[in-house]
Amino acid sequence: MEEQSTSGDEGERLTSRLRFDTLGQVFGTIAATGVGLFVLSFFGLFAFAVQSPDGAEMPLSHPTLIVGFGSWACVVISLFSYVIWAVRELRKQSRDSDRPISWKANDADPYGQRERRVVFALGFGVLFLLIPLAIFGGADGS
């Protein structure tokens, strides 16, 4: 029985995907996947509510709730991880102090583009973090 070994090109390809400077793409992919699963679990909850008899409660161990909570946690963790990574990258990157910060997509330099993405990710992460508070915080009916 012969043992397989990875060739130099394949090993290099695998390590090139998970370098520190490519972590932003990884966090973005995880966040996008989490958002997709969260939306699908929302549709599953809606289908359960439509098909269940009046007054039926969904158990906490229902797969739709588990996937919904897991995907929500995945999005929040990956977005805040991206923000931390991107801020560290911004500190390494030099900024032209003469050029004003532009929030227009066409005018921004790479530093400004990364700043805009960090602010967007932070806002989206905070918004996604507040979803459970909006759902469960207003449950008392007042």
What is the C-alpha to C-alpha distance for residues 42 and 72, in angstroms, rounded to an integer? 11
Identify whether 10 is part of a domain: no
Identify whether 72 is part of a domain: yes
Identify whether 106 is part of a domain: yes
Average pLDDT over residues 96-122: 72
Identify whether 8 is part of a domain: no
Segment 57-77, tens digit of pLDDT: 778 788 888 888 888 899 999
Identify whether 141 is part of a domain: no
Segment 3-20, tens digit of pLDDT: 455 555 555 555 556 666
Give residue 101's domain range: 22-135
Tell me how far CA of residue 29 lies from CA of 24, 59, 82, 103, 108, in angstroms.
9, 30, 11, 24, 24
Is the overall model pTM greater than 0.75, yes or no?
Answer: no
